[in-house]
Amino acid sequence: MNYGTSHSPARVQRAYLFLTAATFIGFMVGLTVLGCGGSGKADDEILIGEYSSLTGTAATFGTSTHKGAMLVVEETNAAGGVLGKKIKLLTEDTQSKPEEAATVVTKLITRDKVKAMIGEVASSRSLAAAPICQSNGVPMITPSSTNPKVTQVGDYIFRVCFLDDFQGAVIAKFVFNTLKAKRVAILKDVKNEYSVGLAQYFTQSFSKLGGEVIAVQAYSEGDNDFKAQLTALKAANPELIFVPGYYTEAALIVKQARDLNMTLPFMGGDGWDSAKLLEIGGAAMEGTYYCNHYSTEDPRDVVQNFVKKFREKYNETPDAIACLAYDAGKLLVDAIRRAGRTDGPQLRDALASMKEFNGVTGVITIDNGRNASKSAVILQIKNGKLVLTETIRPDQVAAM
Ligand code: PHE
């Protein structure tokens, strides 16, 4: 090949085509910008912001959220929209970082002027962005952040999932009553609000039941060698190890434990919920348990219809996060409809008064703390599949 000649006819032709295309794109971008800047275009759409971890250590959390939320957009717009307008989702990537969550949420509010916000999954990132939504009067619904502090940020912050005090009690009850384990060790992520909180709530409930947390070890999100912590926990000889963290580290932890010939049962919280858990952990995950927001085995119509629709569109089974994002989106559209407008205060009031919304992840009633009280499920990994083991309702742990 001759790289020396820069004016070969083919090159000139390519350059010409490139310039033509560039001019055309530039022209179109110009038109779009003009269109959006004027009053016309923006008025026939309702803009909703979504901030999600589309990349980074918790990437499946964000991609699942987006898939669930997009189904709501498609369904709503296919049915004519809401308040006579189409809804449009503006999605920003948090890269699985709290600082980035704050940056992109500021952008969505000040630059794009979104009317409401959906996100994040991880409690640490919701906590970083919620104060920005609160101070700007933009209602935020987190589909899946379970740490109690998130909705305490203020009266514009809502969630559609259960809370970690409940989740901690559910896991304690299951470990103590069903698995009959009395001496448990914990390996938690100290950089993660969710992990630290869930470890604490579990410990409280477990001691109340008469169990004992005999050893605790720590790691930080992004670590990939857990042999030292596991060796220390092994020496304490627990009957089970609880790992309240996210799927990437949890899978590596269980895998490395099996390499150390630790055959005891492992249990996690909802942070384990990702197809990647099995991809990373493989056969080591067999027999482990985790707490979650929904099971594909739930026979309710709303669940079965959603699972079917999701599989048809994405060719995969939805994880809990996709279901929670779908519920959050549906609830928001319903609130916009009931509010009759998209102003912050009215929309907030409509969200606050949501009662008995029949969601995929359960029936959602927003309480005075802007939270939802719902059942949790315990899943076990058997033959590489998630099997529903137990369902625990709020009233079953309230008495504990
Ligand atoms: N509950 C977790 C948190 O608050 C996030 C999560 C929800 C992860 C559901 C997986 C499934 O950080």
Q: Which domain holds residue 103?
A: 42-162+298-369
Is the N-terminal amide bond of 120 cis, ω within 30° of 0?
A: yes
Q: Are residues 129 and 189 in the same domain?
A: no
25, amino acid identity: I
Instruction: Give the pairing of strands 289-292 and 212-219.
Output: unpaired
Give the mutation target among 270, 277, 327 for probing the ligand 1 site: most ligand atoms within 8 A of CB.
270
Residue 341 DSSP one-character state: S
Q: Is residue 1's pLDDT more than 80?
A: no
Q: Are residues 203 and 271 in the same domain?
A: yes
| pLDDT average, residue stretch 212-229 | 97
- Which residue shows structure tokens 């050893």? 215
CATH for 235: 3.40.50.2300
Q: Are residues 148 and 267 in the same domain?
A: no
Q: Are residues 263 and 390 in the same domain?
A: yes
Assess whether the C-beta atom of 271 lies below 6 angstroms from ligand 1. Answer: yes
pLDDT at 13: 52
Structural domain total, the chain: 2
Q: Is 296 helix (H, G, I), strand (E, B) or coil?
A: coil
Give the C-alpha separation, 275 to 316, whole Å.
Answer: 10
User: In terms of residues, how long is the chain?
Assistant: 400
Assess whether the C-beta atom of 321 lies below 6 angstroms from ligand 1. Answer: yes
Q: Are residues 85 and 171 in the same domain?
A: no
Residue 2 lies in a domain: no
Q: Is residue 31's pLDDT more than 60?
A: no
Measured from the Cα of 272, ligand 1's closest atom is 10
Q: pTM of the full predicted structure?
A: 0.89
Residue 32 lies in a domain: no
List 141's β-bridge partners, or say none: 118, 158
Assess whether the C-beta atom of 121 lies below 6 angstroms from ligand 1. Answer: yes
Assess whether the C-beta atom of 194 lies below 6 angstroms from ligand 1. Answer: yes
| pLDDT average, residue stretch 358-377 | 97
Residue 29 lies in a domain: no
Which pair of tokens denotes residue 277? 């858990």
Confidence band, pLDDT 50/70/90 cuts, at residue 42: low
- Which residue shows structure tokens 């150390």? 260
Q: Are the C-beta atoms of 174 and 152 separated by less than 8 Å?
A: no
Q: Are residues 200 and 342 in the same domain?
A: no
List 266's β-bridge partners, or say none: 241
Angle in degrees, CA 137, 141, 342, rounded to 5: 50
Residue 15 lies in a domain: no
Which pair of tokens denotes residue 249? 């580290």
Angle in degrees, CA 333, 63, 146, rounded to 5: 70
| pLDDT average, residue stretch 168-189 | 98
Assess whether the C-beta atom of 146 lies below 6 angstroms from ligand 1. Answer: yes
Assess whether the C-beta atom of 147 lies below 6 angstroms from ligand 1. Answer: yes
pLDDT in tens, 255-278: 999 999 999 999 999 999 999 999
Q: Are residues 213 and 284 in the same domain?
A: yes
Residue 10 lies in a domain: no
Q: Are the C-beta atoms of 48 and 88 separated by less than 8 Å?
A: yes
Q: Are residues 175 and 272 in the same domain?
A: yes
Confidence band, pLDDT 50/70/90 cuts, at residue 67: very high
Residue 236 lies in a domain: yes
Residue 122 lies in a domain: yes
Measured from the Cα of 142, ligand 1's closest atom is 4
Residue 272 lies in a domain: yes
Distance 50 CA to ligand 1 centre (A): 16
119: left (phi over 0), alpha (psi -120 to 50) or beta: left
Distance 122 CA to ligand 1 centre (A): 5
pLDDT at 275: 96
- Looking at the chain, the whole-number percentage of residues with pLDDT higher than 90 is 88
Assess whether the C-beta atom of 123 lies below 6 angstroms from ligand 1. Answer: yes
Q: Are residues 225 and 263 in the same domain?
A: yes
Q: Are residues 244 and 384 in the same domain?
A: yes
Distance 152 CA to ligand 1 centre (A): 17
Q: Are residues 127 and 198 in the same domain?
A: no
Q: Are residues 201 and 259 in the same domain?
A: yes
Measured from the Cα of 146, ligand 1's closest atom is 4
Give the C-alpha separation, 161 to 24, whole Å.
Answer: 47
| pLDDT average, residue stretch 320-349 | 98
Distance 30 CA to ligand 1 centre (A): 41
